[in-house]
């Protein structure tokens, strides 16, 4: 089925070429959606849902929460909408398939570089047909990807304290503006750690499969796995040592914030 999903995602990316898109607010200046987000999501829903019997579908631009299914498509039609609006070229389509709360398939497509990252549970991770693996960089040689809690700017203090602590111990920091792309890059060995205080299922459903199948680690402060019914503090790393380090740094700050609101 992964081949069919890849084909559908590639077709959906043609909608990125619409330069006459409109921009709408979803309640704040930081939370925007474009007409392309909506058209890509509708295209994906129409094409993906028939692939799996009695499956649900949740997209970032969905108005409902359709969790009551064995299988669930979780989609971000444009992860990095602000980048898309500004023509920065760091936006992706992210498609994950979850079975009974466990991600089993993930596809992240970066149309600006024509890079297709994909993985199925138990079958390895690939980029454009080539196997990909996480790096083996230790902390002093690691690149750390992160993001602010964009829609909860009151969390800036603990976010910056976490970033400062990790920055003291790692090589350098990157902030791309697309969680799904950053997770794909971690799976491909291009970056080594990732943390964000509040991410949603459509941000990480595909990326989690990529990282696990590439040999990396994904979890929250509570579990070495994710949950899909609420936003979570997401912790990812290339090695167990780096994962445990990052989890400890985050855990020291999380009790000070209402992360599960």
CATH 3.40.190.80 is the classification of domain 139-256: yes
From residue 102, alpha-carbon distances to 97, 98, 202, 228 in Å are: 8, 5, 14, 9
Work out the end-to-end distance of the chain between its first and last CA atoms, rounded to an integer number of angstroms: 36
- Distance (Å, whole) CA 30 – CA 27: 8
CB-based burial label for 151 (10 Å; 0-12, 13-18, 19+): middle
Global confidence as pTM: 0.92
- Superfamily the domain 2-131 falls into: Fructose-1,6-Bisphosphatase, subunit A, domain 1 (3.30.540.10)
Check residue 63 and give its pLDDT: 63
DSSP at 16: G
Check residue 259 and give its pLDDT: 45
Q: Which residues lie closer than 8 Å to 178 by C-beta, 6 or more apart?
A: 79, 80, 83, 90, 91, 92
Note the pLDDT tens digit of each residue in 80-124.
999 999 999 999 999 999 999 899 999 999 999 999 999 999 999
Distance of CA 230 to the CA centre of its chain: 14
Q: Which two tokens stand for residue 47?
A: 């094409």
Note the pLDDT tens digit of each residue in 130-156.
999 999 999 999 999 998 766 677 778
Check residue 127 and give its pLDDT: 99
Q: Where are the domains of the chain?
A: 2-131, 139-256
Sign of CA dihedral 69, 125, 176, 18: negative
């Amino acid at each position: 089925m992964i081949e069919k999903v890849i084909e559908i995602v590639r077709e959906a990316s043609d909608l990125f070429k619409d330069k006459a898109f409109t921009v709408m607010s979803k309640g704040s200046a930081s939370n925007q959606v474009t007409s392309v987000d909506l058209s890509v999501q509708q295209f994906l829903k129409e094409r993906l849902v028939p692939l799996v019997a009695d499956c649900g579908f949740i997209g970032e631009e969905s108005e409902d929460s359709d969790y009551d299914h064995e299988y669930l498509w979780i989609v971000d039609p444009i992860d990095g909408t602000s980048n898309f609006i500004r023509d920065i070229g760091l936006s992706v389509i992210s498609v994950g398939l979850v079975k009974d709360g466990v991600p089993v398939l993930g596809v992240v497509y970066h149309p600006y570089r024509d890079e297709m990252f994909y993985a199925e549970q138990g079958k390895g991770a690939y980029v454009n047909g080539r196997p990909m693996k996480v790096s083996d960089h230790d902390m002093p040689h690691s690149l750390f990807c992160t993001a602010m809690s964009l829609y909860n700017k009151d969390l800036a203090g603990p976010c910056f304290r976490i970033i400062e602590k990790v920055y003291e111990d790692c090589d350098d920091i990157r902030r791309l503006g697309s969680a799904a792309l950053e997770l794909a890059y971690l799976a491909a060995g291009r970056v080594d750690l990732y943390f964000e205080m509040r991410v949603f299922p459509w941000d990480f459903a595909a990326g989690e499969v990529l990282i696990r199948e590439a040999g990396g680690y994904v979890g929250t402060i509570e579990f070495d796995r994710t949950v899909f019914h609420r936003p979570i503090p997401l912790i990812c790393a290339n090695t167990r040592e780096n994962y445990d380090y990052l989890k400890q740094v985050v855990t020291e700050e999380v009790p000070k914030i209402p992360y599960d609101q």
